Structure 1
Amino acid sequence: MNLTDDQVLTPDFFTDRPTGEIAKDLLGKLLVYHSPLGPMGGYIVEAEAYLGVDDPGAHAFGGRHGKANDPLYGAPGTVYIYAIRGFYAFDVVTQATSEPQGILIRAIEPAIGTDLMLKNRPRGEFELTSGPGKLMQAFDIHDTKMNYQLLTDSPLKIYRQPTKQPAEIGRGERIGVRTAENWEDQFRFIVKGNPYVSKSRRRDIDFDHYGWLN
């Protein structure tokens, strides 16, 4: 697979667009971690949008701002890695500096360096990268050292091309997020039918095409 730096998402991909719209557009994009042992990654199949200070589920809700979530206040395309419940998760910042909105990359369909990921996380069938903690374990990322880096400069990169086109995008409530009853939480976006979407049921899986048009 030919991956070139000119295909990495730059800040203009995120500029002047709602974070939910950006999350949908990330589905099918290729996420790659250029690790010391070689590249590993796959196509994004699940992403959750977090809408900053007004979002009860967001790390910056109510204007919270400290050392732990400071990268979220960075420029669009900034890497934000954080620890939660004993594992690490990867967000990418989506809005202008000091507007702390981001997207959690929840799951990918493996496409590159699968053998390396299986060494890091020896799980069979569709359990390798079907959740944010699983994904980071497969990448062997267990710290926040890449925080503040832009996708263009980081070993973690998201590419414009190559890409896959979802046949249908599903939308629903974010997983493990508690919000007020008057908050409409419909900011989790998935490639419907893809087996690597977290908490997938076998009856919902498209075993022929994995939910892709191409």
Structure 2
Amino acid sequence: MHRLNQDFFMEDSIQVAKKLLGKYLIHETPEGITKCRIVETEAYMGVLDKGSHAYSGKVTPRTEALYEQGGISYVYLIYGMYHCMNVVVNAKGLAQGVLIRALEPVEGIELMMQRRKTDKLKNLCNGPGKLCIAMGITKNENKKNLMTSSLYLEAPEHEDPLDIVAATRIGIDYAEEAKDFLWRFYIKDTPFVSVKSKNATSL
């Protein structure tokens, strides 16, 4: 395993969203280490995307992390109770990000089950809010350098080609035509994804 370097993050969010599949998200905390394989992502294309927090082009205290150079985390709160983790990508100022939507638990599973108060492995990290609870990711992890901090991404030494499916993103019905973009990607046939869509297409 090796940590992802800066170059990995310096493409647009659609490309990085696909490249992140099969990589590993690791969080080292005082409670222990949790490690999961990324199986589902969503791309957000900044001002080009009505589904993006950055569509207006206005930098706010909530979104300022998005405008940084690729390779840091963007963690925000939804519904006043659930955190979501994004990987900021591409050049500074473009405000492109990739939402980590579902994970396959690999290491620290008992700790993740304690945090989520469940023993159901398939449901442990099959949603952006669920995975943040399981991995102990909160607003404290916002703006973390994903190459050097205790929250980081790794690639296996040898990667086999993946069967990737593209589908519409979840929970952005307000985004007009952008709600129909096939910018959600997941590994085909894995049981750990959040939602399998009928309109999905294999890449």
Q: TM-score, normalised on structure 2?
A: 0.89
1:44 CA displacement: 0.2
1:81 equivalenced with 2:75 (yes/no): yes
Aligned AA (2:150): P
What's the offset of the Cα at 1:41?
Answer: 1.8
The one-letter amino acid paired with 1:25 is K
Deviation, structure 1 residue 165: 3.8
After TM superposition, give the deviation of residue 38 of structure 1 in Å: 1.6
Q: Which residue of 2 aligns with 1:207?
A: none
In the alignment, which of 37, 43, 65 is matched to residue 49 of structure 1?
43
Gaps of 5+ in 1: 202-214
Contact kept? 2:144, 2:151, Cα under 8 Å: no
Could you tell me how far 1:184 is from its partner in structure 2? 4.8
Q: Is the 8 A contact 2:50 2:178 kept in 1?
A: no
SS of match in other structure, 1:118: helix
Offset from partner CA, 1:4-41 (integer Å, 9 cap, x none): xxx211221122x2321111110000111111122102
- Give 1:209's aligned residue: none
1:37 corresponds to? 31
CA distance in 2, matches of 1:183, 1:174: 7
Question: Matches of residues 1-214 of structure 1 in structure 2 within 5 Å?
Answer: 7-15=2-10, 17-85=11-79, 86-123=81-118, 124-141=120-137, 143-161=138-156, 165=160, 167-178=162-173, 179-181=175-177, 184-200=180-196
Farther off after superposition, 166-175 or 69-78: 166-175
Provide Cα deviations, 1:104-128, integer angstroms capped at 9, x if missing partner. 0011100011111011113214110
* Distance change in 2, residues 1:163/1:36 (3 Å): farther
CA distance in 1, matches of 2:186, 2:75: 21
- Aligned residue number for residue 205 of structure 1: none
How many Å separate the matches in 2 of 1:125 and 1:144? 25
Q: Give TM-score, length-normalised by structure 1.
A: 0.84
User: Identity over the aligned pairs, expressed in percent?
Assistant: 37
Give the number of equivalent residue pairs: 194
Letter in 2 for 1:113: G
Distance in 2, Cα, partners of 1:166 & 1:115? 30
Kindly state the Cα deviation for residue 182 of structure 1 after the two structures are TM-superposed. Answer: 6.9
Q: Structure 1, residues 118-167: CA drift from partner, whole Å, max 9, x if none?
A: 111132141100000000111133x3122222102222111022565464
Mean Cα displacement is larger for which, 75-84 or 121-130?
121-130
Q: CA deviation at 1:76?
A: 0.7
Deviations 1:75-115 (A, max 9, x none): 11111100012200100101111110000001110001111
Task: Structure 2: state its 5+ residue gaps.
Answer: 198-203
Query: Could you tell me which amino acid in structure 2 is paired with residue 41 of structure 1?
Result: K
- Tell me how large the CA RMSD over aligned residues is: 1.8
Q: Distance in 1 between matches of 2:132 and 2:31?
A: 15
Cα distance change of structure 1 residues 53 and 82 upon mapping to structure 2, 3 Å threshold: same
Aligned to 2:200: none
